[in-house]
Amino acid sequence: MSFLVPFYSLFLFLSFICTYSAPFLLFQAFNWESWKTEGGWYNALSNSVPELASAGVTHVWLPQPAHSVSTQGYLPGRLYDLNSSSYGNQFDLKRLIKAFHQSGIKCVADIVINHRCAEKKDGRGIWCIFEGGTNDDRLDWGPHFICRDDVQYSDGTGNPDSGATYEPAPDIDHINPTVQRELSDWMNWLKNDIGFDGWRLDFARGYSPQITKLYMENTVPDFAVGEVWTSLSSGQDGKPNYNQDSHRNELADWVRNAGGVVTAFDFTTKGILQQAVLDELWRLKDSNGNPPGMIGILPQNAVTFIDNHDTGSTQNIWPFPSNKIMQGYTYILTHPGIPSVFYDHFFQWGLKEEILKLIAIRKRNGIGPTSRVRMLASDPDLYVAMVDEKIIMKIGSRYDVGNLVPQGFDIATSGQDYCVWEKKGAA
C-alpha cells in the first residue's frame, strides 16, 4: 500500500493550504505567571472565550496540559496525567476546549516532547525511569529511550540525538520506533479524547525536521507551529546585521524538511522589527524590495508575533521595546504571514481596543498569509507600505507622509507613531 503515501502527503498539503488561505488569527492565551491564578487558569480563561471569539480569533494556543516538574509546564513527566497540571485538571480543560469550540475557535496544545522528566532513579541512581500516567505501560520508559549522547542520563544504548541538545532534562530518542508510536498515540489522544485541534511544538530544533514530519503525518493536526529559535547574526555594535537571509532560510528549510505543511514562528521578523522601530525602519525592506523576515520568502508558513511567554512576560528574555508595541502590531496585522496576539498585550497592557481595530481592518480587507506588499517608503523614521492595493500602513516617528497616500484612501485607525488607511468603499 505504499502508493497511498504520496496521495496522503498531497491530501495533507492541500488541506493546510486551504486552512491557511482562510482568515487566520492565533492568540497565545497564557503567560509565564498564568499558573498562579486562583481557581485555575482554565476556569479563569473560560470567561474570555466570548471576547476572543468576537475579536476574530480563530485559534488559541493553550499551555502544556500534562504533569510537569516545573509549574509552567515545560519539564513534563507523566504525559497522560492531565490532573496534575498547575493550570487546572482534565475536566476543566475539556470544558474550556468545548467552550472555545462552541464559539468557533480551535485549540492548539503546547507539545513538549523533545525532553522529559523521569519519575524515579534506576539502579545507577540516575533519574531515567519514566512513568506515563496510566495503569498500563504506555510511555513507561527507561534509559534506553534517551539519546545516547545525553551522557548525564543515558545508558548508552539509545540512538544519537537528531537535533540540538537540551541540558535541563533527558533528551528523548525520537529515532526509536516505540517513542514515535507512543508519542503519536498520545498526541492523537489529546486530539480525539481531550479535544485539541493542533500543536505548538516546543524546542522543535531539538529533533530533526524529519521527525516533525512523521508526527505531522501520524496525527494530522488542523494547525501546527514549531518553535525554532536561534540567534540573529549581529555586528560588532551588537545590533542585528541588515541581511538576515541565512536566519530566515534556516526557518524555511526547517518547514520544507518537516514536510512543508507545518508553520514556524517567524523569529527573523521579530528580531528585525524590534530593532527597526528604534528609528531604523530602513531594515524592513530587503535587497529585493520585500519584507526581510520569513514572511518575505515563505509567508504562508510564517507565524508572526511581537512577544510570547519567553521573550516577554516576566521572563523578558528578548522583549519588544515596550513603548513601540503598537507599531509592531500595526506591522504584523497588516502584513503577510499568520499573526499571533499575546495575552499580556491584549488583556493587561491597555492595548485591546487598538489591537481590535487592526484585526478588524485585516479581516475586512481580506489580508491573509500570502497578501502582497508594495513598499512606498523605508526611511529611518518612516515605513509606509500598501498591502493588496487595499490598505496603506505607516509606522515611525515621522508624522508627515507627504504624498505617499493617494486620494481614495481614508484613515481607518491611528495612534502613537502608526496609522492605517483604507481604500474607500471597503466592505
CA pair distance 228, 35, nearest whole angstrom: 24
pLDDT band at 427 (very low <50, low <70, confident <90, very high): low
Give per-residue pLDDT as tens, 232-249. 999 999 999 999 999 999
pLDDT at 24 over 50: yes
Mean local confidence (pLDDT), 247-268: 98
Please report the pLDDT score of residue 425 as a whole number.
Answer: 77
Name the catalytic one among 150, 202, 354, 422: 202
Mean predicted confidence (pLDDT) in 340-367? 98
Per cent of the chain over pLDDT 70 is 94
Q: What is the pLDDT of residue 20?
A: 55
In the predicted structure, residue 193 carries a pLDDT above the cut 60: yes
Of the listed ranges 1-15, 82-96, 220-234, 345-359, the least confidently predicted one is 1-15
What is the rounded CA–CA span in Å between residue 68 and residue 84? 8
Residue 201's beta-bridge partner residues? 111, 226
For residue 345, pLDDT over 60 is answered with yes
Grid cell listed for 153 = 542520563
| pLDDT at res. 21 | 57
Catalytic residue among 182, 227, 266, 422: 227
Residue 23, pLDDT score:
78
Q: Could you report the per-residue pLDDT of 102-136, keeping only the tens digit for each?
A: 999 999 999 999 999 999 999 999 999 999 999 99
What is the reported pLDDT for 14?
Answer: 52
- C-alpha dihedral, 214 to 216 to 218 to 220, nearest 10°: -160
pTM to 2 decimals? 0.95
Is 227 marked active-site? yes
Sign, CA dihedral 213-214-215-217, equals positive
Given a cut of 90, whether residue 386 has pLDDT beyond it is yes
Average pLDDT value for the chain: 95
41-89 per-position pLDDT tens digit = 999 999 999 999 999 999 999 999 999 999 999 999 999 999 999 999 9
Task: Give the pLDDT confidence score for residue 98 in this predicted structure.
Answer: 98
Amino acid at 200: R
